[in-house]
Amino acid sequence: MGEELEALHKNQTWQLVPRTSNMHVIGSKWVFKSKLKPDGSLDRLKARVVAKGYHQVDGVDYIETFFPVIKLGTIRLIITVALVQKWHIHQLDVKNAFLHGVLSENIYMEQPPRMADPNSPIHVCKLQKALYGLKQAPRAWFDRFSSL
Protein backbone atom coordinates (compact mmCIF):
# COMPACT_ATOMS: atom_id res chain seq x y z
CA MET A 1 0.00 0.00 0.00
CA GLY A 2 2.92 2.30 0.70
CA GLU A 3 4.18 2.10 -2.89
CA GLU A 4 0.73 2.98 -4.25
CA LEU A 5 0.27 5.89 -1.84
CA GLU A 6 3.71 7.23 -2.74
CA ALA A 7 2.88 7.09 -6.48
CA LEU A 8 -0.46 8.87 -5.92
CA HIS A 9 1.15 11.59 -3.82
CA LYS A 10 4.16 12.07 -6.11
CA ASN A 11 1.87 12.32 -9.14
CA GLN A 12 -0.44 14.86 -7.44
CA THR A 13 -3.39 12.69 -8.41
CA TRP A 14 -5.88 14.69 -6.34
CA GLN A 15 -6.33 17.58 -3.97
CA LEU A 16 -8.72 17.67 -1.04
CA VAL A 17 -11.58 20.16 -1.37
CA PRO A 18 -14.61 20.88 0.81
CA ARG A 19 -17.70 18.92 -0.19
CA THR A 20 -20.58 20.97 -1.58
CA SER A 21 -24.19 19.93 -2.14
CA ASN A 22 -23.98 20.23 -5.94
CA MET A 23 -21.00 17.86 -6.36
CA HIS A 24 -21.47 14.42 -7.86
CA VAL A 25 -19.08 12.35 -5.72
CA ILE A 26 -18.09 8.82 -6.72
CA GLY A 27 -16.71 6.23 -4.35
CA SER A 28 -13.26 4.69 -4.11
CA LYS A 29 -11.90 1.39 -2.88
CA TRP A 30 -8.72 -0.63 -2.53
CA VAL A 31 -8.05 -3.58 -4.85
CA PHE A 32 -5.48 -6.15 -3.76
CA LYS A 33 -3.65 -8.56 -6.05
CA SER A 34 -0.99 -11.25 -5.63
CA LYS A 35 1.87 -11.11 -8.14
CA LEU A 36 3.48 -14.48 -8.83
CA LYS A 37 6.95 -15.45 -9.98
CA PRO A 38 7.30 -17.56 -13.14
CA ASP A 39 7.54 -20.69 -10.97
CA GLY A 40 4.16 -19.90 -9.37
CA SER A 41 5.47 -18.82 -5.98
CA LEU A 42 4.43 -15.52 -4.41
CA ASP A 43 6.50 -12.58 -5.60
CA ARG A 44 4.71 -9.69 -3.89
CA LEU A 45 1.35 -8.31 -2.89
CA LYS A 46 0.06 -5.26 -4.74
CA ALA A 47 -2.51 -2.70 -3.58
CA ARG A 48 -4.20 -0.15 -5.81
CA VAL A 49 -6.67 2.66 -5.11
CA VAL A 50 -9.42 2.64 -7.74
CA ALA A 51 -12.36 4.92 -8.43
CA LYS A 52 -15.81 3.37 -8.55
CA GLY A 53 -16.27 4.42 -12.16
CA TYR A 54 -19.52 2.50 -12.43
CA HIS A 55 -21.07 5.39 -10.47
CA GLN A 56 -19.96 7.98 -13.04
CA VAL A 57 -22.69 9.83 -14.93
CA ASP A 58 -22.38 10.39 -18.69
CA GLY A 59 -22.18 14.10 -19.47
CA VAL A 60 -21.39 14.96 -15.85
CA ASP A 61 -18.27 12.96 -14.95
CA TYR A 62 -17.12 12.09 -18.46
CA ILE A 63 -17.79 12.90 -22.09
CA GLU A 64 -15.29 11.01 -24.23
CA THR A 65 -14.09 7.49 -23.43
CA PHE A 66 -12.97 6.14 -26.83
CA PHE A 67 -9.32 5.15 -27.19
CA PRO A 68 -7.64 3.07 -29.90
CA VAL A 69 -6.57 -0.49 -29.14
CA ILE A 70 -4.20 -2.53 -31.27
CA LYS A 71 -5.47 -5.94 -32.33
CA LEU A 72 -3.53 -9.08 -31.45
CA GLY A 73 -3.22 -9.94 -35.15
CA THR A 74 -1.47 -6.63 -35.80
CA ILE A 75 1.03 -7.27 -33.01
CA ARG A 76 1.75 -10.73 -34.42
CA LEU A 77 2.25 -9.27 -37.91
CA ILE A 78 4.71 -6.66 -36.61
CA ILE A 79 6.68 -9.31 -34.70
CA THR A 80 6.76 -11.56 -37.79
CA VAL A 81 8.07 -8.73 -40.00
CA ALA A 82 10.68 -7.86 -37.35
CA LEU A 83 11.85 -11.49 -37.19
CA VAL A 84 12.07 -11.82 -40.98
CA GLN A 85 14.00 -8.53 -41.22
CA LYS A 86 16.16 -9.52 -38.19
CA TRP A 87 15.22 -6.33 -36.38
CA HIS A 88 15.63 -6.01 -32.63
CA ILE A 89 12.39 -5.76 -30.67
CA HIS A 90 12.02 -3.74 -27.49
CA GLN A 91 9.11 -3.39 -25.12
CA LEU A 92 8.37 -1.08 -22.25
CA ASP A 93 6.11 -0.98 -19.25
CA VAL A 94 5.02 2.33 -17.77
CA LYS A 95 4.48 1.96 -14.04
CA ASN A 96 1.15 3.37 -12.90
CA ALA A 97 0.38 4.30 -16.53
CA PHE A 98 -3.19 5.50 -16.03
CA LEU A 99 -2.07 7.86 -13.26
CA HIS A 100 -0.24 9.98 -15.86
CA GLY A 101 -3.40 10.92 -17.78
CA VAL A 102 -4.63 14.46 -17.15
CA LEU A 103 -8.38 14.90 -16.66
CA SER A 104 -10.35 17.64 -18.38
CA GLU A 105 -13.53 17.02 -16.33
CA ASN A 106 -14.15 17.93 -12.70
CA ILE A 107 -14.39 14.59 -10.92
CA TYR A 108 -14.89 14.29 -7.18
CA MET A 109 -14.20 11.09 -5.28
CA GLU A 110 -14.57 9.99 -1.67
CA GLN A 111 -11.27 9.73 0.18
CA PRO A 112 -10.03 6.13 -0.05
CA PRO A 113 -11.01 3.87 2.86
CA ARG A 114 -8.59 4.00 5.80
CA MET A 115 -6.84 6.94 4.14
CA ALA A 116 -9.01 9.89 5.14
CA ASP A 117 -7.02 12.97 6.08
CA PRO A 118 -7.54 13.41 9.86
CA ASN A 119 -7.48 17.20 9.41
CA SER A 120 -10.13 17.14 6.65
CA PRO A 121 -12.20 13.97 7.18
CA ILE A 122 -15.30 15.27 5.35
CA HIS A 123 -13.42 16.69 2.35
CA VAL A 124 -13.46 14.90 -1.00
CA CYS A 125 -10.73 14.29 -3.55
CA LYS A 126 -10.87 16.50 -6.64
CA LEU A 127 -9.09 14.33 -9.18
CA GLN A 128 -6.40 16.11 -11.19
CA LYS A 129 -5.06 12.98 -12.86
CA ALA A 130 -6.76 9.83 -14.06
CA LEU A 131 -7.22 6.93 -11.69
CA TYR A 132 -7.83 3.26 -12.36
CA GLY A 133 -11.55 2.59 -12.58
CA LEU A 134 -12.55 5.86 -14.25
CA LYS A 135 -14.36 5.46 -17.55
CA GLN A 136 -12.08 8.01 -19.22
CA ALA A 137 -8.79 6.75 -17.71
CA PRO A 138 -7.66 4.81 -20.83
CA ARG A 139 -8.48 7.82 -23.04
CA ALA A 140 -6.59 10.22 -20.73
CA TRP A 141 -3.55 7.91 -20.78
CA PHE A 142 -3.68 7.62 -24.58
CA ASP A 143 -3.91 11.43 -24.95
CA ARG A 144 -0.93 11.90 -22.62
CA PHE A 145 1.20 9.17 -24.23
CA SER A 146 0.48 10.29 -27.80
CA SER A 147 1.42 13.90 -26.97
CA LEU A 148 4.98 12.96 -25.93
Domain count, the chain: 1
Ordered per-residue pLDDT tens for the chain, 148 residues: 777 888 888 889 999 999 999 999 999 999 999 999 999 999 988 889 999 999 998 888 888 888 888 999 999 999 999 999 999 999 888 888 888 899 999 999 999 988 888 899 889 999 999 999 999 999 999 898 888 8
Which residues, including other chains, have CB under 8 Å from residue 18's CB and lie 6 or more apart? 122, 123
Domain hosting residue 17, numbered range: 2-146
Query: What pLDDT sits at residue 14?
Result: 95
- CA R_g for the chain: 19
Picking from 16, 51, 20, 12, the residue whose alpha carbon sits closest to that of residue 124 is: 16
